[in-house]
Structure 1
């Protein structure tokens, strides 16, 4: 996925292996995003309440799940649209795409307001 802001859909959410963090063993979810060009990027989100990316994901999806930390069925996120900021990391001969932020689609795509004078109803 290109290094930029990408309009994406969430295509899957799966359990990931727990990792040891400063909070002890911490659960994770692996969230896969896909743009309109079928390019994908996967993010492993730490599941603790203060996690910045977890908070961003919940905001970006209008609270499709109130908290992935306690969610047993996170399939409510699949199909949701959002915007991810991708930055590339170069390690030797490899390039890695990393999701560094997640935001609500409305902050990037202008949706016409029906009360707007320039809005034309095509029906």
Structure 2
């Protein structure tokens, strides 16, 4: 691809952004992992504006998750967001999360955003369960 064609391809994408989708999520359950920062937070905030019955922010840190909940409430007026602890580097945390979901009514999960972290680590580390560890620095 020559430079001019590349320029026009990039310019076209920047110039014509698709519309932001809106829907009524009344009665729906939405779960976003990594929802306290970055794309996960922005996705959670977007869903909050569509009024789901339940919006679960799955985060590694209770403190950071609660800060995100307060920011979502301030920015959108939505008051039903919840922080649930979930550390995908620990299988016990994943199991506890699933058990909690089941105990608290579980049921249908309408929207799941699996917002995984990106690791820039140059070394290979294992979790306590023997899987590859991903961590945000």
Q: TM-score range by the shorter chain?
A: under 0.3
| TM-score for the superposition, normalised by structure 1 | 0.24
Higher helix content, 1 or 2: 2
Higher strand content, 1 or 2: 1
| TM-score for the superposition, normalised by structure 2 | 0.22
RCO comparison, higher one (Cα < 8 Å, 6+)? 1
* Higher alpha-carbon Rg: 2
